[in-house]
């Protein structure tokens, strides 16, 4: 792991003196009190999803947050797993402006991977760590209504591209998520929406997490990534950002590519009432717990102003 952040492993914890353990717990107490009863939406992706040790750390963190009185909701991605299965099936990808064209056959694979394999893995990990997780897709309880996402041509703004069953969110009905939370379950959401004719749509997981955090009036939105956070041109971590500063970083090319939809969703959530959005390094063991229950910065926090 290429990271300059030192993290405490489970073997290290075994050698911490009782007095130091008590100090660590007492430092977490103000944060537990502050966030008790609050909803935390977590976008789960990157290395944290594929490294067995990090998977275990993630599941333990989610369960601990639930046990100390927070209400975690997990939204997971699954891009590498989808790519892997499509490759095995010999399905050649067709892309328009970097976006995969999702025909019906590809959508069947997306649903099978996200709502089947990946979702059940995440649910199983959390349950094995002592939690009570329940998997959902956008169909369950009418959670995510979607429509076809049309891509504007980068050279001709008057022209749009149809990329198949890739969706944009029309609305989110959080009733089923709230009902599960009230019964002490941990919702695990696959980013699949449904259209007015019951068709399925694959939706960017960052977008789903941001919109869900907004609708649930979440205290925090945490986005686990494979990088330390948002970096400046010199590779230094930017620990706090505002929309104005983000516009400057996009304009000069510092923020580009796949980071743009992640940042756009984060800004929307922050402007819509989510108190803080954190883009954190999922490669750091227990980074999520450290971000919420300590004053350490393990990534970039985005505020609305």
Backbone phi, then psi, for 96, in 5-degree steps? -125, 120
4: closest CA among 212, 178, 236, 232? 236
283 marked ligand binding residue: no
In which region does residue 98 sit, left (phi positive, over 0), alpha (psi from -120 to 50) or beta (all else)? Answer: left
Name every residue whose Cβ is closer than 8 Å to that of residue 40 and which is 6 or more positions away in sequence. 65, 70, 71, 72, 73, 218, 219, 220, 221, 222, 292
**CA–CA separation, 296 and 266 (whole Å):** 20
Q: Is 202 annotated as a binding residue?
A: yes
Q: CA-to-CA distance for 294 and 305, rounded, in angstroms?
A: 23
Q: Find out whether 257 is annotated in a ligand binding site.
A: no
- Buried/exposed code over 34-70 (b: 16+ C-beta within 10 A; e: otherwise): ebeeebbbbbbbbbbbebeebbebbbbbbbbbbebeb
Residue positions forming the annotated binding site for substrate = 78-79, 100, 202
């Amino acid at each position: 792991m290429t990271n300059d952040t030192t993290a405490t492993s489970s073997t290290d914890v075994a050698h911490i003196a009782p007095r130091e353990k008590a100090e660590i717990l007492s430092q977490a107490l103000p944060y537990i009190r502050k966030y008790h009863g609050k909803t935390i939406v977590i976008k789960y992706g990157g290395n944290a999803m594929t490294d067995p040790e990090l998977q275990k750390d993630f599941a333990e963190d989610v369960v601990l947050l639930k046990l100390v009185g927070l209400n975690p909701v997990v939204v997971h991605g699954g891009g590498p797993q989808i790519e892997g299965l499509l490759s095995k099936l010999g399905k050649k990808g067709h892309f328009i402006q970097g976006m995969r064209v999702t025909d019906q056959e590809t959508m069947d694979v997306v649903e099978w991977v996200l709502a089947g394999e990946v979702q059940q893995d995440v649910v199983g990990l959390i349950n094995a760590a002592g939690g009570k997780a329940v998997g959902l897709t956008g169909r369950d309880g009418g959670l995510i209504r979607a429509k076809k996402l049309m891509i504007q041509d980068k050279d001709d703004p008057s022209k749009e591209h149809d990329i198949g069953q890739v969706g944009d969110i029309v609305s989110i009905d959080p009733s089923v998520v709230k009902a599960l939370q009230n019964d002490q379950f941990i919702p695990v959401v696959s980013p699949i929406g449904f259209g007015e004719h019951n068709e399925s749509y694959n939706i960017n997981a960052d977008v789903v997490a941001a919109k869900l955090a907004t609708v649930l009036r979440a205290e925090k939105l945490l986005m686990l990534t494979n990088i330390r956070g948002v970096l400046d041109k010199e590779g230094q971590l930017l620990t706090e950002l505002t929309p104005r500063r983000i516009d400057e970083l996009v304009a000069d090319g510092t923020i580009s590519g796949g980071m743009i939809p992640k940042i756009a969703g984060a800004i929307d959530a922050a402007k819509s009432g989510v108190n803080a959005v954190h883009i954190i390094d999922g490669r750091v063991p227990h980074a999520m717990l450290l971000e919420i229950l300590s004053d350490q910065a393990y990534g970039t926090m985005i505020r609305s102003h």
